[in-house]
Structure 1
Amino acid sequence: MDSATLFADGLISSRLNEYNLTFSPDGNIRLYTIANNTSTNRFYTIFITRKEQGRWTKPQIASFSGQFSDADPFFDPIGKKLYFISTRPITTGVSKSDFDIWYVDYENEKFSLPKHLGNEVNSMNDELYPTVSEKGNLFFSTENGSKGYDLMVSRYEKHKFQRPVPLNGSINTTKTEFDAFVSPDESFIIYTGMNYADNHGSGDLYLSFNKGGFWGKGKNLGNKVNSSDMDQCPMLSNDRKTLFFTSFRDSQPYPNDKPMTTDEYLNILNSALNGLGNIFWVDLRQVIGASGIYKQSN
Structure 2
Amino acid sequence: MSVQLVFSLAALLGAQAVEVTETDQPWSDQPDAHVSWVSFTPDETVALFGRHDSDWGAHRVMMSVRSPQGWQGARPVEIDGAPWPTQMRAMRFSPDGRGAVFSSAPLPGETRDDWDLWYVHWHDGRFVAARRLESPVNSSAHDVHASIAANGTIYFASRRRGGAGESDLYRAIPDLAAGWRVERLPALSSAYSEADIFVAPDEAYVIFARTDAPDGQGGDDLYISQASDAGWSEPIPLGEDVNSPGYEYGAWVNAAGDRLWFTGFRDGVYQQIQIALPEE
Match of 1:85 among 103, 110, 120: 103
- Cα gap change, 1:102/1:191 in structure 2, threshold over 3 Å: closer, same or farther? same
**Structure 2 equivalent of residue 284 of structure 1:** 277
Q: State the secondary structure of the residue aligned to 1:164.
A: strand
Question: Which stretch of structure 1 is more off in the superposition, 111-120 or 153-162?
Answer: 153-162
Q: Percent same amino acid at aligned positions? A: 22
Post-superposition offset of 1:96: 4.1
**Structure 1 equivalent of residue 6 of structure 2:** none
Distance 1:197 1:113 in 2: 43
Distance 1:148 1:8 in 2: 38
Post-superposition offset of 1:33: 0.5
Q: Which one-letter code corresponds to 2:130 in the other structure?
A: P
> 1:239 and 2:256 equivalent?
yes
Unaligned runs of 5+ in 1: 251-274, 291-298
Q: State the secondary structure of the residue aligned to 1:112.
A: strand
Structure with higher strand content: 2
Post-superposition offset of 1:195: 1.4
CA deviations on 1:127-154 (whole Å, 9 max, x unpaired) are: 1111111111110011155711111000
Post-superposition offset of 1:97: 1.6
**Structure 2 equivalent of residue 180 of structure 1:** 197
> 1:203 and 2:220 equivalent?
yes
Post-superposition offset of 1:117: 1.2
Match of 1:165 among 183, 188, 198: 183
Distance 1:8 1:150 in 2: 36
Post-superposition offset of 1:218: 0.9
CA contact (8 A) 2:17 2:242 kept: no
**Structure 2 equivalent of residue 50 of structure 1:** 65
Q: State the secondary structure of the residue aligned to 2:225.
A: strand
Post-superposition offset of 1:6: 5.5
**Structure 2 equivalent of residue 255 of structure 1:** none
CA contact (8 A) 1:154 1:161 kept: no
Q: Which one-letter code corresponds to 2:153 in the other structure?
A: N
Higher Cα radius of gyration: 1
- Matches for 1:111-190 after TM superposition, within 5 Å: 111-145=127-161, 147-158=165-176, 161-168=179-186, 170-190=187-207
TM-score if structure 2 supplies the norm length? 0.85
Distance 1:79 1:36 in 2: 28
Distance 1:55 1:6 in 2: 15
Match of 1:25 among 42, 59, 64: 42
Unaligned runs of 5+ in 2: 1-15
Distance 1:141 1:58 in 2: 31
**Structure 1 equivalent of residue 76 of structure 2:** 61
Match of 1:103 among 89, 107, 119: 119
Distance 1:79 1:9 in 2: 22
Question: Which stretch of structure 1 is more off in the superposition, 93-102 or 237-246?
Answer: 93-102
Q: State the secondary structure of the residue aligned to 2:97.
A: coil
CA contact (8 A) 2:106 2:114 kept: no
Distance 2:194 2:22 in 1: 25
Aligned length, in residue pairs:
258
Q: Which one-letter code corresponds to 1:284 in the other structure?
A: L
Give runs of ≥4 in structure 1 deviating > 6 Å: none
CA deviations on 1:90-139 (whole Å, 9 max, x unpaired) are: xx723742210112111111111421112221011111111111111110
